């Protein structure tokens, strides 16, 4: 048990996929890890008609996502967790019944001495975020004069700059910005947070972290899966909205930010937003044509199995031009990053699941030694966000023997090598932070808007211009060939696993 305030987590959309697959397992792990407050209640809310018992059955006892943990922990532990869960239905519409909901919350509050500390988690379609915020406010459930109130909002946060702004205004009518927690689960990943520590607690990195020493920065987010039954949603979204605008822009902001004066949520987010506000907006057709590539996966046979092409997926239009691959080259116009290209790509149906940031350092000003083998004359710092979380440093060493020949060597750190190397799941970490009132790892309104401001012109260009071609790529390769043209005159994308001897841990798919 820890010293968190007693509190209630009210999940809207409690019958949905996210609750079952992510939120309840994260809460279960917080419970078994003794992270929850002494008195803690979860109230699930949806339109479906469920009793408390039926809700517990659905999200705990018959959960595929808890199966292993439940088997390990035994009946008693599971029951005591399940007994914290309650359910209330809201009828057919989220427009009514909030008085009934408010009464239920008050009843549970009194019974479990919750002291009116509430987190409302919106795990519902974004179209009703504002309605729920309003209805909560009508019931004074936003009022912090007695107990604190927090509102967690799921992605997508808007569909464009305009809709994101509208949503911010809509929510801020009822909740103060300090009460609003916009979740981005990439910020909950240990390795994303570790970028801050790597940069700002090591005097060997930060002095080099600028245009004087860094040649370019590359970020790859690859998934081997396709749209996995989410074709209907994905076809209206695409890779740029689904991954780039939020998760990858968050990583960019942490890589690019200036040192904050301390580690408070506001200071860290102040610096992140400044980096996002310095993104060079691409407004003309020529720049957009030359710096953005979109692609869509085609059917292929992978490991003897036929994999569907994107347009054959359920819920996807037969003539869809929605991108499942996006690669963007861009610049950050500030003192630190002048003329340093950032190359960022994200895609589904790639050879493996991997997310990594590669800092490519410049070559020494004057090279006096011979190169040998694969040594390509520059140092690389590779931050493995997932899987095999860790950091790989590539540097030149002398080849043993006569002369001064140089080859590339690795210094490789794996989180799993730490004694306490167990990594908290992102949702577990983010829920715990919200329970503590720590918004560092949540996106602020201005960050979201700055990111949309950069992404909007790309989306508009892709949606309207004849020059914005959707390039096909076979499922299971590293995207369309054209994406290599983005990296001009330097080298190709660093496709992980091309040199197996170099990075064996990454590359299970190749070793099979």
Ligand X SMILES: NC(=O)C1=CN([C@@H]2O[C@H](COP(=O)(O)OP(=O)(O)OC[C@H]3O[C@@H](n4cnc5c(N)ncnc54)[C@H](OP(=O)(O)O)[C@@H]3O)[C@@H](O)[C@H]2O)C=CC1
Binding site for ligand LXAUTJHC (CB under 6 A): 185, 223, 242-243
223 annotated to bind ligand: yes
Q: From CA 110, how far away is CA 73, in angstroms rounded?
A: 30
Q: Is 46 in the site for ligand X (CB under 6 A)?
A: yes
242 annotated to bind ligand: yes
For every residue of 150-167, DSSP letters joined together read EEEEPSP--SSHHHHHHH
Q: Is 155 in the site for ligand X (CB under 6 A)?
A: yes
Q: How far is the CB of 131 from ligand X (least distance, A)?
A: 9
| CB-CB contact of 380 with 359 (8 Å) | yes
Count of residues making up the chain: 512
| CB-CB contact of 61 with 78 (8 Å) | yes
Residue 142 binds: one of ligand X, ligand LXAUTJHC, none (C-beta under 5 to 8 A by kind)? none
Residue 223 binds: one of ligand LXAUTJHC, ligand X, none (C-beta under 5 to 8 A by kind)? ligand LXAUTJHC
512 annotated to bind ligand: no
| Among 32, 37, 48, 300, interactor with ligand X by CB under 6 A | 48
Nearer to ligand X, 108 or 128 (CB): 128
Q: Is 95 in the site for ligand X (CB under 6 A)?
A: no
Nearer to ligand X, 18 or 423 (CB): 18
| CB neighbours of residue 139 within 10 Å | 16
Q: From CA 464, how far away is CA 462, in angstroms rounded?
A: 6
Per DSSP, the three-state class of 119 is strand
Nearer to ligand X, 287 or 386 (CB): 386
Q: How far is the CB of 430 from ligand LXAUTJHC (least distance, A)?
A: 12
47 annotated to bind ligand: yes
Residue 18 binds: one of ligand LXAUTJHC, ligand X, none (C-beta under 5 to 8 A by kind)? ligand X
Q: How far is the CB of 14 from ligand X (least distance, A)?
A: 6
Nearer to ligand LXAUTJHC, 7 or 237 (CB): 237
Residue 9 CB contacts under 8 Å (≥ 6 apart), including other chains: 27, 40, 41, 42, 43, 118, 119, 121, 431, 435
Nearer to ligand X, 94 or 461 (CB): 94
Residue 399 binds: one of ligand LXAUTJHC, ligand X, none (C-beta under 5 to 8 A by kind)? none
365 annotated to bind ligand: no
Residue span 105-144 as binding mask against ligand X, x where in contact by CB under 6 A, dash where not: ------------------xxxx-x----------------
Q: From CA 498, how far away is CA 507, in angstroms rounded?
A: 9
Q: Is 94 in the site for ligand X (CB under 6 A)?
A: yes
Q: How far is the CB of 382 from ligand LXAUTJHC (least distance, A)?
A: 17
Q: Residue holding tokens 């994303």? A: 192
Residue 211 binds: one of ligand X, ligand LXAUTJHC, none (C-beta under 5 to 8 A by kind)? none
DSSP class of 462: H
Q: Residue holding tokens 């980096």? A: 275
The terminus-to-terminus CA distance of the chain in angstroms comes to 44
| CB-CB contact of 90 with 34 (8 Å) | no
Q: How far is the CB of 448 from ligand LXAUTJHC (least distance, A)?
A: 14
Residue 297 φ then ψ, to 5°:
-75, 145
Q: Is 451 in the site for ligand X (CB under 6 A)?
A: no
Give, in degrees to the nearest 5, the angle at Cα 192 between 244 and 487: 50
Query: Which residue has its beta carbon closest to ligand LXAUTJHC?
Result: 242
C-alpha distances out from residue 511 to 207, 416, 498, 505, 508, Å: 38, 21, 12, 10, 5
Q: How far is the CB of 417 from ligand LXAUTJHC (least distance, A)?
A: 22
134 annotated to bind ligand: no
Q: From CA 101, how far away is CA 41, in angstroms rounded?
A: 14
Q: From CA 372, how far away is CA 386, in angstroms rounded?
A: 31
Residue 449 binds: one of ligand X, ligand LXAUTJHC, none (C-beta under 5 to 8 A by kind)? none
Residue 242 binds: one of ligand LXAUTJHC, ligand X, none (C-beta under 5 to 8 A by kind)? ligand LXAUTJHC
- Whether the CA torsion 481, 509, 384, 157 is positive or negative: it is positive
Nearer to ligand X, 47 or 211 (CB): 47
- Region 16-45 residues binding ligand X, contact defined as CB under 6 A: 16-18
State the catalytic residue, choosing from 216, 247, 360, 471: 247
185 annotated to bind ligand: yes
Q: How far is the CB of 128 from ligand LXAUTJHC (least distance, A)?
A: 19
Q: Is 47 in the site for ligand X (CB under 6 A)?
A: yes
Strands 300-302 and 305-307, sheet pairing: antiparallel
Residue 188 binds: one of ligand X, ligand LXAUTJHC, none (C-beta under 5 to 8 A by kind)? none
Q: From CA 105, how far away is CA 114, in angstroms rounded?
A: 10
Q: From CA 325, how far away is CA 147, in angstroms rounded?
A: 45
CA dihedral 84, 88, 94, 98 (to 10 degrees): -90
Active site (annotated) includes residue 247: yes
Residue 14 CB contacts under 8 Å (≥ 6 apart), including other chains: 44, 45, 46, 55, 59, 87, 123
Nearer to ligand LXAUTJHC, 243 or 507 (CB): 243
Helices (H), 280-418: 285-291
Expressed in percent and rounded to 5, the helix, strand and coil fractions of the chain are 40, 20, 40
Q: How far is the CB of 483 from ligand LXAUTJHC (least distance, A)?
A: 19
Q: Residues annotated in the binding site for substrate, as ranges?
A: 185, 189, 223, 242, 348, 353
The catalytic residues are: 247
Catalog residues that contact ligand X under the rule CB under 6 A.
13-18, 46-48, 94, 123-126, 128, 154-156
């Amino acid at each position: 048990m820890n010293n968190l305030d007693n509190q209630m987590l009210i999940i809207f959309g409690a019958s949905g996929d996210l609750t079952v697959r992510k939120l309840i397992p994260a809460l279960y792990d917080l419970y078994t890890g003794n992270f929850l407050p002494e008195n803690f209640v979860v109230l699930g809310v949806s339109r479906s008609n469920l009793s408390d018992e039926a809700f517990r059955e659905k999200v705990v006892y018959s959960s595929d996502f808890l199966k292993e943990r439940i088997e390990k922990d035994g009946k008693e532990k599971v029951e005591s967790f399940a007994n914290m869960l309650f359910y209330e239905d809201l009828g057919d519409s989220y427009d009514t019944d909030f008085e009934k909901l408010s009464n239920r919350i008050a009843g549970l509050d009194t019974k479990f001495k919750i002291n009116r500390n509430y987190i409302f988690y919106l795990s519902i379609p974004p179209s009703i975020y504002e309605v729920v915020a309003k209805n909560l406010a009508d019931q004074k459930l936003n009022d912090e004069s007695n107990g604190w109130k927090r509102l967690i909002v799921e992605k997508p946060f808007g569909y464009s700059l305009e809709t994101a702004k509208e949503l911010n205004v809509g929510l801020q009518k009822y909740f103060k910005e300090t009460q609003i927690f916009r979740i981005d689960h990439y910020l909950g990943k240990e390795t994303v947070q570790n970028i801050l520590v790597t940069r700002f607690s090591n005097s060997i990195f930060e002095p080099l972290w600028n245009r004087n020493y860094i040649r370019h920065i590359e970020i790859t987010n690859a998934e081997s899966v396709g749209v996995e039954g989410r074709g209907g949603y994905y076809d209206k979204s695409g890779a740029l909205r689904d991954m780039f605008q939020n998760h990858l822009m968050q990583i960019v902001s942490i890589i690019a930010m200036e040192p904050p004066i301390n580690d408070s949520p506001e200071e860290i987010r102040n610096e992140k937003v400044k980096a996002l506000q310095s993104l060079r907006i691409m407004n003309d057709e020529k720049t957009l044509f030359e710096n953005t590539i979109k692609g869509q996966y085609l059917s292929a046979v992978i490991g003897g199995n036929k994999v569907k092409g994107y347009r054959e997926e359920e819920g996807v239009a037969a003539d869809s031009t929605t991108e499942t691959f996006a690669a963007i080259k861009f610049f950050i116009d500030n003192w630190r990053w002048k003329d340093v290209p950032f190359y960022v790509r994200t895609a589904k149906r790639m050879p493996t699941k991997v997310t990594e940031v590669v800092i490519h350092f410049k070559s020494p000003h004057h090279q006096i030694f011979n190169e040998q083998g694969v040594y390509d004359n520059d140092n690389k710092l590779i931050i493995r966000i997932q899987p095999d979380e860790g950091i790989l440093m590539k540097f030149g060493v002398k080849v043993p023997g006569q002369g001064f020949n140089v080859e590339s060597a690795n210094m490789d750190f794996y989180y799993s090598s730490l004694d306490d190397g167990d990594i908290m799941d992102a949702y577990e970490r983010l829920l715990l932070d919200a329970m503590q009132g720590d918004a560092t790892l949540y996106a602020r309104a201005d960050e979201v808007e700055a990111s949309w401001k950069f992404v909007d012109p790309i989306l508009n260009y892709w949606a309207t211009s004849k020059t914005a071609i959707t390039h096909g790529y076979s499922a299971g390769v590293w995207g369309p060939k054209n994406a290599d043209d983005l990296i001009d005159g330097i080298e190709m994308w660093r496709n992980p696993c091309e040199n197996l001897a170099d990075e064996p841990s990454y590359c299970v798919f190749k070793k099979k």
